Each structure stands twice: as structure tokens, then as C-alpha cells.
Structure 1
Amino acid sequence: MMPDEYLVECNIDDDEEEEEEDDDDDDDVKKIHPSPPPPPQFSSTSSLTQGEIRDPCGLNKHLKIEFSDVLAEPVSTHSYDRVWVYSGIGFESARLWGYRCLTALCALPFSCLCGGLFALLACMHIWCVMPCIQVFHSCLPCVRSLWMSVVNIFIAPFCKSVARCCSGIYVVFSKE
């Protein structure tokens, strides 16, 4: 758990008019300029058209990581600007090319494995599970009537006999 002194409130305003008004009010506050964005070929927010979206359901929103999400320098300590820019470029290129190389090696075998697993699950569900459920649904009325007969013939008289035998037992507590 982080202490409250390390927490920073970030207000994000999209309106430039409000920023201009805030600039007039806060002249005595030192402005901190963010690091320059990485070049477009290394940016994780690439411009995809609607037909190229590969995660339309948003299953992997948690993997949209920027350089500033992982590394950040506080105001009191800054490295050289070039070091910061090259670190950002190195991070983005290692993330991009590492992902590309790993998917080139693993994507085809893993997708075949997942496809085979889902095919096996679909086959088991269609040819084993659902027929068994349908058989149970059609046989359960017969089984239910048979079970009720067994309960009424054997178990109910036994329970009544035990209840009559135990009904004559009285327990008395006394203090000595």
C-alpha cells in the first residue's frame, strides 16, 4: 500500500479554453511538460480502421500499456532528455518486436492446440453430454415414480416404526 504523500491527482481536460483560463490563474505554478510521445511506428495506439480491429470485444484492455505506465520520473529527479526519449523508443520497440517474434513462434501451434481443444469440447458436448441429458429428461418421470414407490414401500414404514419406538422415550433433567 502506498502512502498518501506519493499519490498525485491528475485532472484531464479536453477543452483548450479551460486550459487557457487555468493558465491565467496559476502563473506562479511551475508547469511540467510531459515527455514527447514515441514515434508513430512504436506507438501502442496505432491507427486501425474498423475492419482491422482484432479485439472488438475488448478482452485485452489491460494489455494496452504505454511507456509512461511503466516508467516515470518525478519532478525532483530527471535524466537527460535524450536518455528519456531513447528509453521510450527502446521500450516501445522491445515490446513491439518481442511480441511479434513470440507470436511468430507460438501463435500457430497455440492456435492449433486451442482449436483442437475447442473442437474436442464441442464434440463431447454435442455427442455425449446433450444426449445423456436428453435421456435423463425422458427417463426421469419413470425413475421418479419408481423411486417414490421404493420410498413409500420400504423407507416410509421403517421411519414410522423407528418414530413410534422412540416416541415412548422421555428425558427428564434434574438438578442435584
Structure 2
Amino acid sequence: MSETYLLHDEIHPASPLDPDNRDPMRINKHLQLDFFNVIAEPDTSAYNFEVLHKLLHQVYHYTKIFIYRFLTILVGLPLMLCWGLIFGIYTFIMIWLVVPIRRLSQSFIAECGFYVQTLSDAVIAPIHRSMGQMFSGIRMSLSKVDDHSTKQIQV
């Protein structure tokens, strides 16, 4: 089912034949954390020693890998259990509760709409047409009248 959302020209799902492609949907494209994407020396005036640069690259690379793998074992496994439970419950609720209730509601609303339309055509529309006929004969004209009468206050 998830393959139907793939753009077949650009992205291919991960397969056992390509174990290096672990982000086939490119959801973590923004995580470019390679040494050269984090530490950059822009020109020769800012270069450090070549040996030190290679050593820093190795330290960064292996530290990042070690910490990532350690945290994956320590925190990632329990999180994957939690995420699996959450998405499993969510999928179950959507498939077995929400979608059938939505379908039932849509069907019920459509059926009620039929009766409301029929009632409106049979009762409400004739009443409004009759009232429109009654008030359609009313004509109004405005004229200006000068009233110079004095007003008196009674006590």
C-alpha cells in the first residue's frame, strides 16, 4: 500500500538488495551531519594542519557513529516499541472504528438530507411562496411633508 504513494521515477523503496539506502523516502534529507557539512574551513587562511584535520575528521566521525549506535540501543529500542504500539493502535482505531463510523455518518447524513429536502419541498417552500405572494402586493411611497406644528409639553 505504501508503494502507491511513491513517485516511481524518483524514489524507490528500500529493498534487501540495497541495504545502504535506509531513507528511500528521503524524510531525513535535512540531517546532513557529515563532517564536511558541519565543519568547514572556507579558504586557505583558515586551514589547520592537514594531519590534525584528518584526525579531527576521524574523531568526529567515529564519535558520532558510536554515540548514535549507543543511543539507538539504549533509547531507540524502547522508543521503537512505543512507536510500534502507538502506530499499531492508531492503525487499528482508524481501520476498525473511525473509517466505519465516518462511512455510517455519511450514509446517515445523506439519508437525513433526503428527508429534509422532501419536507422542505412539501411544507416550507409552499409557505414561503404564499408569504411572498401576500407581501408582493405591498407598495410604498415616500413623500416629504413639512410639519410646522408647535409641540406642547403637558404637565
* Same-fold call, TM cutoff 0.5: yes
Name the TM-score, length of structure 2 as normaliser: 0.62
1:84 aligns to 2:53 (yes or no) = yes
Q: Which of 50, 59, 63 does residue 27 from structure 2 map onto?
A: 59
Identity of aligned pairs, percent? 23
**Structure 1 CA distance, aligned partners of 2:96 and 2:82?**
21
Alignment of 1:17-166 (within 5 A): 50-53=17-20, 54-73=22-41, 74-157=43-126, 159-160=128-129, 161=131, 165=135
Q: Which has the higher contact order (CA 8 A, sep 6+)?
A: 1
Normalised by the size of structure 1, how large is the TM-score?
0.56
Shift of 1:114: 1.1
Letter in 2 for 1:133: R
Deviant stretches of 4+, over 6 Å: 169-172
How large is the RMSD of aligned CA atoms in angstroms? 3.1
Letter matched to residue 71 of structure 1: I
Taking a change above 3 Å as real, the CA distance of residues 79 and 154 of structure 1, as seen in their structure-2 partners, is same
* Secondary structure in structure 2 of the residue aligned to 1:57: coil
Deviations 1:51-96 (A, max 9, x none): 5233333333333432111112222222222221221112112211
Gaps of 5+ in 1: 1-48
Length, aligned pairs only: 124
Structure 2: tracts of 5 or more residues without a match: 1-15, 143-155
Residue 155 (structure 1) shift: 4.2
Q: Using the alignment, how far apart are the partners of 1:110 and 1:169 within structure 2?
A: 77
Structure whose alpha-carbon radius of gyration is higher: 2
